[in-house]
Amino acid sequence: SETRAATRARTRTGPAPVTDVAKLCVCDLLVAQCDANCCCDPDCSAADFSLFTTCSVPIVTGDSRLCSQKAAVYSLDVEANPPERIFKLIDQVNPSIFCIHATNYKQALSFSSPEMPTSENFDQLLKEFGSATFSVEPDSWNMNTDAQGPADANETYRYEYGVPVQTVDAFLRLPSPVVSSWCSDMNPAAFLVNQATKCTRSVSVEGCASIQAVSMLFYINSSILAVPKSSQMVNITVQSVVIQSLNGMQTLLNGSDVLRLPMILDELCINVVLGVSYHLTYTDAGEIIEAAASFVLGAINQEALSIEQSFEISFTQVNTTPVPLSGNPGYVVGLPVRAGFRPRGYPFPAEILFAALNTNRHGQFTILQSTSNQDCLAAQGARTPILFGYNMVSGCKLRITAGMKCQPLAQTLLDLLKGQSFPEYVASFGNSQAHDVLDWVPITHLHTSEQRIYNIFQSSCQIPVSLEIAVQWTKYGSLVNPQARIVNVSATITSTTLKQLPSGRERTIPITSSVVFTDISPPAEPGYKAWPTINAKLPFDFFFPFV
């Protein structure tokens, strides 16, 4: 009857606890089998008992603090032949004067059965036990957090790095690819995290007016909250709109305050958003004061099933112009090496360098870029920025014909190799400022000649055929976070003699330029703080009368 009652109770609560000491057996572990040396096991027969050596559980009692309680005593009578188990149910008396005579508190002497979760009490149980610590009195915990609430309301919120930028309805969205390349609109833009994402969106000409994500309105609709949880709103203004035609040609629109919504025109859907670039201006108090969005709108035709959208967000501090760094302070691999000139003719401390006139750091220090047609003279001046840590080799082929004049050819090749504005100084750290002269490394120019044999006829001129830029860098700073620092930059131009060709013949010589980064870090030395010294010096007039 006890098991039937237990199964009935199991539907609402757990199984009822066993409290009868005569039926309680902690060494009965095997079901329907006799456990060795377990005198209280009901599965054991008298024959099994005769094989035991001792009783592993000699006594089973309840709480020993009670004044009088029942106890089941098991023992083996080894004198008898065969040995038999003796089971006695006795009243055990606690002699202490502080034993519990009676208790009116039901949960005092036993563990409480946990509440079984049902659909009614699930929320309350989750609130009580759902966190890392169990609250004994969940209501008092809630009161504490509520008490902090009004106090926090007086405290001003502000955005911090990484916090999602909040808008009126949810968050500022920057659609990005999640698992596949399809756009997911649930990616929030984080404060001060410059992001650029590209993803694919499925479109159709018929549905282009109904798909929200291809319309400008979707991206500037909700206003951004200036600080989290506030009512101050910043509207997103349209900074510029670029219309991209089907063949890829982009034109900038003049008046940019007109909202262009997608519409169907001549079997094309125009004003489809192909790219959005957000620029948010913030103050150093963590408040967003301005938001602008630049759009690239395009058109899709009947055959298009999907378009690629690109999104970008960048943050600028108010009253500053952003200077893009290539590392802070050490160079980051993959970012362009910063370089510049020292302006001449400045009357007073010409210790002012400014970076190359294009603040675009990708244009400061460049090498020749190889093109698909490898003709040097038709190269059109394509150059690629030198990225820190990336060794590069590029080149082209020069076709020398009979009538070529040496001197102009040498100058052309020099311009080709060095580019229009070859810098004089390279920043030694990624964040070197233009006014710190010592942070800039001068470029050493070297010339070598391919000719081994010294030609006494110096009439033949030399043409440069290769430019090798060797950048030596070292690890600087602490062992756990070494920063890359450029120590030495040398540009070696190798020249060769241009031999005059008989007419009708032509020769092709390769022109190469390369950049090599070498790590010249010395082995790391641990630096210890100096032991404190006892600065015990006698005052100078200590031996006054005698000195």
Partner 1 sequence: SSHQLSSLPLQILLYVNGIYYIFYFLATLAMIVYKSEVFSYPDDFLAPDLALLLIMAVLEALRLYLGVKGNLTEEEAPLGLSLALTVGSVVLSVYFLVWQTYVLRADVLVNAVLLFSYGLESVLKVVAIAAFVS
Contact 331, 484 (CB under 8 A): yes
Token pair, residue 501, equals 């060709």
Among candidate residues 132, 128, 106, the one with its CA nearest the CA of residue 115: 128
The distance between the two most distant Cα atoms of the chain, rounded to a whole number of Å, is 130
DSSP string of 73-87, one letter each residue: EEEEE-SSSS-EEEE
In the bound complex, what is the minimum distance in angstroms from residue 110's beta carbon to partner 1? 10
Q: Which residues contact 109 (CB under 8 A, 6 or more apart)?
A: 62, 63, 66, 100, 103
Among candidate residues 283, 307, 280, the one with its CA nearest the CA of residue 294: 280
- In this complex, which beta carbon is closest to partner 1, that of residue 137 or of residue 267? 137
Residue 317 phi, psi (nearest 5): -80, 145
In the bound complex, what is the minimum distance in angstroms from residue 101's beta carbon to partner 1? 5
Q: What are the angstrom distances between the C-alpha of 385 and each of 15, 365, 405?
A: 75, 6, 31
Q: Give SS3 for 410.
A: helix
- In this complex, which beta carbon is closest to partner 1, that of residue 19 or of residue 103? 103
The residues pairing with 266 across neighbouring beta strands, listed in sequence order, are: none
- In this complex, which beta carbon is closest to partner 1, that of residue 65 or of residue 342? 65
Q: Is 201 left (phi over 0), alpha (psi -120 to 50) or beta?
A: beta
In the bound complex, what is the minimum distance in angstroms from residue 116's beta carbon to partner 1? 22
Q: Which residues bind partner 1 (CB under 8 A)?
A: 67, 96-105, 107-108
Contact 71, 21 (CB under 8 A): yes
Contact 17, 110 (CB under 8 A): yes
d(CA 216, CA 234) in angstroms, rounded, equals 17
- In this complex, which beta carbon is closest to partner 1, that of residue 102 or of residue 538? 102
In the bound complex, what is the minimum distance in angstroms from residue 536's beta carbon to partner 1? 57
- In this complex, which beta carbon is closest to partner 1, that of residue 95 or of residue 539? 95
Q: Cis bond leading into 17, ω under 30°?
A: no
In the bound complex, what is the minimum distance in angstroms from residue 103's beta carbon to partner 1? 5
Among candidate residues 360, 430, 434, the one with its CA nearest the CA of residue 389: 430
- In this complex, which beta carbon is closest to partner 1, that of residue 68 or of residue 124? 68
- In this complex, which beta carbon is closest to partner 1, that of residue 67 or of residue 414? 67
Helix axis angle for 138-154 and 122-129, nearest 10°, is: 70
In the bound complex, what is the minimum distance in angstroms from residue 112's beta carbon to partner 1? 10
Q: Tell me how far the alpha carbon of residue 340 is from its chain's centroid.
A: 31
- In this complex, which beta carbon is closest to partner 1, that of residue 12 or of residue 106? 106
Residue the block writes with tokens 């997608």 = 262
- In this complex, which beta carbon is closest to partner 1, that of residue 112 or of residue 154? 112
- In this complex, which beta carbon is closest to partner 1, that of residue 98 or of residue 348? 98
d(CA 257, CA 251) in angstroms, rounded, equals 16
In the bound complex, what is the minimum distance in angstroms from residue 139's beta carbon to partner 1? 14
In the bound complex, what is the minimum distance in angstroms from residue 107's beta carbon to partner 1? 7
In the bound complex, what is the minimum distance in angstroms from residue 18's beta carbon to partner 1? 21
Q: What angle do CA 136, 137, 139 make, to 5 degrees?
A: 150
In the bound complex, what is the minimum distance in angstroms from residue 135's beta carbon to partner 1? 15
Contact 167, 222 (CB under 8 A): yes
In the bound complex, what is the minimum distance in angstroms from residue 104's beta carbon to partner 1? 6
Cα-Cα end-to-end distance for the chain: 110
In the bound complex, what is the minimum distance in angstroms from residue 127's beta carbon to partner 1? 20
- In this complex, which beta carbon is closest to partner 1, that of residue 105 or of residue 454? 105
Token pair, residue 366, equals 């460049």
Amino acid identity of residue 102, one-letter, is A
Residue the block writes with tokens 């750091």 = 361
- In this complex, which beta carbon is closest to partner 1, that of residue 96 or of residue 237? 96
